[in-house]
């Protein structure tokens, strides 16, 4: 049985921040149910992916990230485009992941780093260090101890009686300290922090914490370094609590703006299924014709985000229902479903 105890202490500042966060959560709960629409949740998810990858030096803009997720072709570094596609796949799986499962942790890493590193979905097999320029600022524990360290950290989290806001931040720090993967530790660590919080309160699944981490990126890394030097992650926990509090304040403002704009939504603000239905109109069109109207070039994305959901929701139907893969297959709105643009 492990007696693993992460090195940190509770501070008065943590207690005050938890009180402020709890107050924000209380105020947002009703707002969340009424105002955080599927569109706003998707927008927050895209901002999360953009910010988390920007922290890792991905140079794509928010507009480019949005276009990639919408299945559109952009000019950009192929590796950076792949990072966006992978991150979207990983975050789409988020609601189904168990943050206290090593198997799910490896599954998420496999998706996040597919085609980017050889050891995707596996704990690292060699030593790694974190560098600032040519200066080594953190040497991670030897590879042979990684699996045990991660299991101990998860067991500690399960048994810990600390507030979820505190122990999730401690988990985040310890995860980065262990550095369990050859690459992708930062983006997986931030995702896992949100996943742990999401299991406590649903709204954290959609809160773009990474956006504020990016705005305080230098402080984020400096605080990680101080925690290493002092063997105490209290400062890092305080920083993450501040970021969570500020993120909650920001999402509340976005929610109020959403109430104010009401129905003033552009086509670009509509969901993929809504845009498909608008493009379809009263016509019967092939998949190729629909993709052209939508400005899409990636067929798997079109099928996953547009066509399949529309079929599953019975909003459209096939013109050749008995042969789904027919070369003459086209799609039209179901007569029984009225759709208002």
Where do the structural domains in the chain lie, given as residue ranges? 12-260, 267-333
Query: Is 90 exceeded by the pLDDT of residue 32?
Result: no
Q: Which two tokens stand for residue 108?
A: 């998420």
Least confident of 80-94, 107-121, 189-203, 288-302: 288-302
Query: Is 80 exceeded by the pLDDT of residue 218?
Result: yes
* Mean pLDDT computed over 228-235: 91
Residues 6+ apart with CB under 8 A from 161: none
Query: Is 70 exceeded by the pLDDT of residue 63?
Result: yes
Say what the pLDDT of residue 195 is. 95
Say what the pLDDT of residue 87 is. 96
Cα separation, 294 vs 306, in Å, equals: 10
Cα separation, 112 vs 226, in Å, equals: 28
Percent of the chain with pLDDT over 90: 52
Burial degree of 221 (CB within 10 A; 0-12, 13-18, 19+)? middle
Mean pLDDT, rounded, of the chain = 85
* Mean pLDDT computed over 214-227: 89
More confident residue, 114 or 334: 114
Residues 6+ apart with CB under 8 A from 73: 297, 298
Cα separation, 173 vs 233, in Å, equals: 7
Q: What sign does the CA torsion over 156, 157, 159, 162 have?
A: positive
* Mean pLDDT computed over 186-208: 92
List b or e across 296-328, with b for residues whose CB sees 16 or more CB atoms inside 10 angstroms: bebeebbeebbbebbbeeebbbeeeeeeeeeee
Say what the pLDDT of residue 14 is. 95
Helix axes 38-55, 185-200, angle to 10 degrees: 150
Say if residues 16 and 24 touch (Cβ distance below 8 Å). no
Say what the pLDDT of residue 259 is. 34
- Measured in degrees and rounded to the nearest 5, phi and psi for residue 202 equal -55, -35
Q: Which two tokens stand for residue 196?
A: 């742990």
Query: Is 70 exceeded by the pLDDT of residue 255?
Result: no
Percent of the chain with pLDDT over 70: 87
Say what the pLDDT of residue 41 is. 78
Say what the pLDDT of residue 135 is. 72
Query: Is 50 exceeded by the pLDDT of residue 332?
Result: yes
Least confident of 21-35, 262-276, 278-292, 308-322: 262-276
Query: Is 70 exceeded by the pLDDT of residue 252?
Result: no
Place of tokens 């599953």: 312
Q: State whether CATH 1.10.10 applies to domain 267-333.
A: yes
> Vertex 165, ends 163 and 170: CA angle to 5°?
95
Say what the pLDDT of residue 336 is. 53
CATH architecture of the domain covering 12-260 = Orthogonal Bundle (1.10)
Closest CA to 254 of 197, 193, 211: 211
DSSP state of 285: B
Query: Is 70 exceeded by the pLDDT of residue 155?
Result: yes
Helical H runs in 36-141? 38-55, 62-69, 78-92, 102-113
Q: What sign does the CA torsion over 29, 33, 38, 43 have?
A: negative
Place of tokens 């208002």: 340
pLDDT digits (tens, 9 = 90+) for 125-145: 998 877 666 776 677 889 999
Say what the pLDDT of residue 292 is. 85
Confidence of residue 257 (pLDDT cuts 50, 70, 90): very low
Can you point out the beta strands (E) in the chain?
129-132, 135-139, 316-318, 331-333
């Amino acid at each position: 049985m492990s007696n693993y105890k992460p090195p940190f202490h509770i501070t008065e500042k943590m207690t005050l921040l938890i009180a402020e966060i709890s107050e924000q959560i209380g105020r947002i709960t009703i707002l969340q149910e009424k105002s955080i629409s599927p569109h706003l949740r998707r927008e927050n998810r895209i901002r999360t992916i953009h910010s988390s990858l920007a922290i890792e030096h991905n140079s794509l803009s928010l507009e480019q990230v949005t276009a990639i997720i919408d299945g559109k072709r952009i000019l950009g570094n192929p590796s950076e485009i792949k990072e966006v596609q992978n991150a979207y796949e990983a975050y789409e799986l988020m609601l189904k992941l168990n943050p206290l499962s090593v198997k799910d942790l490896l599954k998420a890493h496999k998706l996040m780093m597919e085609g980017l590193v050889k050891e995707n979905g596996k704990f690292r097999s060699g030593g790694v260090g974190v560098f600032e320029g040519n200066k080594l600022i953190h040497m991670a524990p030897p590879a042979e101890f990684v699996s045990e360290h991660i299991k101990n950290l998860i067991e500690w989290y399960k048994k810990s009686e600390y507030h979820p806001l505190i122990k999730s931040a401690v988990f985040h720090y310890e995860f980065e300290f262990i550095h369990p993967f050859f690459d992708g530790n930062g983006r997986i660590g931030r995702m896992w922090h949100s996943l742990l919080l999401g299991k406590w309160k649903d709204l954290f699944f959609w809160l773009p914490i990474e956006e504020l981490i990016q705005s305080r990126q230098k402080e984020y890394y400096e605080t990680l370094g101080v925690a290493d030097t002092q063997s105490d992650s209290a400062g890092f926990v305080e920083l993450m609590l501040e970021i969570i509090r500020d993120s909650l304040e920001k999402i509340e403002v976005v929610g109020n703006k959403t109430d104010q704009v009401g129905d003033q939504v552009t086509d670009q603000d509509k969901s993929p299924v809504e845009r498909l239905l608008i493009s379809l109109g009263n016509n019967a069109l092939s998949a190729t014709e629909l993709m052209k109207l939508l400005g899409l070039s990636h067929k798997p994305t079109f099928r996953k985000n547009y066509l399949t959901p529309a079929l599953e929701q019975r909003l459209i139907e096939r013109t050749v229902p008995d042969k789904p893969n027919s070369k003459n297959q086209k799609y039209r709105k179901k007569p029984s479903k009225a759709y208002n643009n």
